[in-house]
Structure 1
Amino acid sequence: MDVLADVLTTTGFSGVLLAQLRSHGSEWGCGLDRLDTAGFHLIAEGTCWLRTADAPPLQLVSGDVALLPRGVPHQLTGDPEQQAVPYTELAAAHPPGRDNVVELGGSGPVVRVVCGKFQYHGDTSRHPVLSALPEVIHVPGMSADPELQGVVRLLAAETSQERPGAQAVATRLTDVLFVQVIRAWLDRTGADDTGQRSWLTALRDPRIGAALSLMHEAPHRPWTVETLARDVAMSRPAFARQFKTLVGATPLAYLSRLRIDLAARLLRETDRLVSDIAEAVGYTSEFAFSRAFSRELGVPPGRYRRGGPARAAVGPAT
């Protein structure tokens, strides 16, 4: 079981293109408030700078990707000292055209930035992937792996001209881009560098990663700490200790959250009876399932299905 793919599917994770910024020269600046989701910028042409409150200006060149997993407020500018104007004001002064490009004018080399975000069910502080990442991930285009370079080039091309189906292709490429950026970041720095316990760290461990795969592949099975430890060839105490250290939750707590996440997805996407969903994710009674669901997400299954206001984050606890 591909754990990363399973979590992204369960949380309904998908990319959306928002707009493009296009300028000639360096006399421009765009300020963006905190997003309620993850955002990204792909530098399709030229050079610009990314500024956040807690880090020095970061130069971005053609082919670079900047991912902001928790949507931290930031600025994109043509020069590290350039004053930024809020995006809403820029868009009002330079209304996006049919291709959703904000033309900022100027004279000089072309700068084109493709901007997008990732939608999902839940909030960034509890999403199992995003909560394990730093505030900004910068993947240089020149040092990225060939697969990521290919995605970047294709996305830049699809957003540069109005070809039939270009919007659909570009939108789907954003999903691929996210996975490729995470791969590149893990290969380059490693999840351990964040100093945080998360299942991203655990995926790099052969035995704990194998245990996670087992649970994601068959969450309905009556797993115990003993059976999981045996299946990955570890003693029970060593497995429990290592799992908690790397994942930040006990095996059974993780399993409980995983089951509830899957149940939440089935409630959102299907019309199956609550009792059927309870059985499908491993609960022997609807009462036990409802109690566990309410404990994890703050609302009972029926209210969650109806779109109650207290819908909570979806994704294994980190």
Structure 2
Amino acid sequence: MIDPLAEVVALLQPGAPHSKIVSAFGSWRVRRSETGQPYYCVVLEGSCRLAEDGRETVVLQAGDFVLIPAAYGFTMSSAEPPAPGAPDSTPLALPGGEFQLGEPDAAPKTRLLIGYCVFGSPDAALLVSLLPQRIQVRGEPRLATLVRLVVDESRERRPARDMMLARLLEALLIEALRSSADAPVSPGLLRGLADTRLAHAIRRIHEAPAQAWTVAQLAKEAALSRSAFFERFSRAIGLAPMEYLLAWRMALAKRLLRQDGAAIAEVAERVGYSSASTFSVAFARHVGMPPARFARERPASQEPA
């Protein structure tokens, strides 16, 4: 059986090139203004506060994992933050690659593993939109085991370290998504898969993306009326059913063109188009360039070994 969540994570091509351990003492605060980078944090010891712009502040405790798939402005601070107007803390680099905030003799102490992921997919923005805006997990032993492995790998400079971190991060991301499946989440794939009826229709799309699906056929798969299915799917996923189908087909087409080097006619057939010309028109409209040009402009990082 095809697993849509695993497919999305695999297509994202997550990597973890930037991670560091930070020890923070006493009262501290750091502010970050990002451009949609995926940011994650693991609280190894103590507690802290995370305040994203426009969202409710959350308190993170030892053992918590949080991932923001597209981070913009946010602030992290001690559980008792500095007074408003006080200057932000400046991280101090220590020997061995760790960082320090505040004075080492001040209490309490908080220890964090923080990092930025990269998503190598050319469709990362679409795929990220299918994930919750914030993933937070607490008290999950399996996740804690993965976190310990990430911390251990981050500290050492073993051969193939970056490759190992990338694989661990992929496992961490899947486990975090699975662990948070029962929590209220923003519209996206996780919310759709939590709905038993919608989940069946979503799996059918992923099992047979080349099939000539209609809303009525997908509604039948979900055992819902056409109108009820359309409204329920759109509310849960954040995209209408045919929009989701088109977006998924194009994500698959990009992977086939860039990674597998498949011929355009073959790609067209595999993603549900009757001819290469029909596919090329749809691809150019969706992506902004014809498939042949997209394939030629393959990034160096995605060249086959």
TM-score by length of 2: 0.80
Pick closer, same or farther for the CA change 1:165–1:291 going to 2, 3 Å: closer
The percentage of aligned residue pairs carrying the same residue is: 30
- Secondary structure at the residue paired with 1:70? strand
1:173 correspondence with 2:173: no
Residue 159 of structure 1, aligned match among 154, 162, 168: 154
Indicate conservation of the 8 Å contact 1:240/1:250, yes or no. yes
Residue 138 of structure 1, aligned match among 130, 136, 148: 136
Pick closer, same or farther for the CA change 1:227–1:77 going to 2, 3 Å: closer
Pick closer, same or farther for the CA change 1:226–1:9 going to 2, 3 Å: same
**Runs of 4+ residues deviating >6 angstroms:** none
Residue 84 of structure 1, aligned match among 83, 88, 96: 88
Give 2:116's aligned amino acid. K
Pick closer, same or farther for the CA change 1:37–1:306 going to 2, 3 Å: farther
Pick closer, same or farther for the CA change 1:229–1:60 going to 2, 3 Å: closer
1:294 correspondence with 2:284: yes
Indicate conservation of the 8 Å contact 1:21/1:104, yes or no. no
Cα offset for 1:28?
Answer: 4.3
Pick closer, same or farther for the CA change 1:259–1:62 going to 2, 3 Å: same
Indicate conservation of the 8 Å contact 1:294/1:301, yes or no. yes
Give 2:81's aligned amino acid. P
Corresponding residue of 1:314: none
Matches of 2:35 and 2:172, distance apart in 1: 19
Cα offset for 1:204?
Answer: 1.6
Cα offset for 1:74?
Answer: 2.1
Matches of 1:7 and 1:275, distance apart in 2: 24
Give 2:49's aligned amino acid. W
Matches of 1:258 and 1:278, distance apart in 2: 13
1:41 correspondence with 2:41: yes
Which 5+ residue runs of structure 1 have no aligned equivalent? 310-318
1:214 correspondence with 2:204: yes
Residue 264 of structure 2, aligned match among 270, 274, 299: 274
Pick closer, same or farther for the CA change 1:74–1:228 going to 2, 3 Å: closer
Pick closer, same or farther for the CA change 1:246–1:21 going to 2, 3 Å: closer
Cα offset for 1:14?
Answer: 0.5
- Secondary structure at the residue paired with 1:72? strand
1:116 correspondence with 2:115: yes
Residue 285 of structure 1, aligned match among 269, 275, 278: 275
Indicate conservation of the 8 Å contact 1:20/1:102, yes or no. yes
Matches of 1:182 and 1:55, distance apart in 2: 20
Matches within 5 A, 1:1-318: 1-10=2-11, 12-23=12-23, 25-54=25-54, 58-78=58-78, 79-81=80-82, 83-85=87-89, 90=91, 94-95=92-93, 100-104=97-101, 106-108=103-105, 111-120=110-119, 121=121, 126-130=125-129, 132-134=131-133, 136-140=134-138, 144-161=139-156, 168-187=163-182, 189-191=183-185, 194=186, 196=187, 198-307=188-297
Give 1:262's aligned amino acid. L
Cα offset for 1:56?
Answer: 6.2
- Secondary structure at the residue paired with 2:297? coil
Matches of 1:50 and 1:25, distance apart in 2: 16
Cα offset for 1:103?
Answer: 4.2
Cα offset for 1:18?
Answer: 1.4
Cα offset for 1:16?
Answer: 0.6
Matches of 1:49 and 1:246, distance apart in 2: 29
Indicate conservation of the 8 Å contact 1:57/1:80, yes or no. no
Deviation per CA, 1:192-251, whole angstroms, max 9, x where unpaired?
A: xx3x4x333221222221111011111112223343344444444544444344334443
Matches of 1:110 and 1:123, distance apart in 2: 40
Corresponding residue of 2:303: none
Cα offset for 1:153?
Answer: 3.1
TM-score by length of 1: 0.77
Matches of 1:161 and 1:46, distance apart in 2: 23
Cα offset for 1:80?
Answer: 1.2
Matches of 1:114 and 1:57, distance apart in 2: 19
Deviation per CA, 1:97-119, whole angstroms, max 9, x where unpaired?
A: 5x542345732365332122232
Matches of 1:123 and 1:266, distance apart in 2: 13
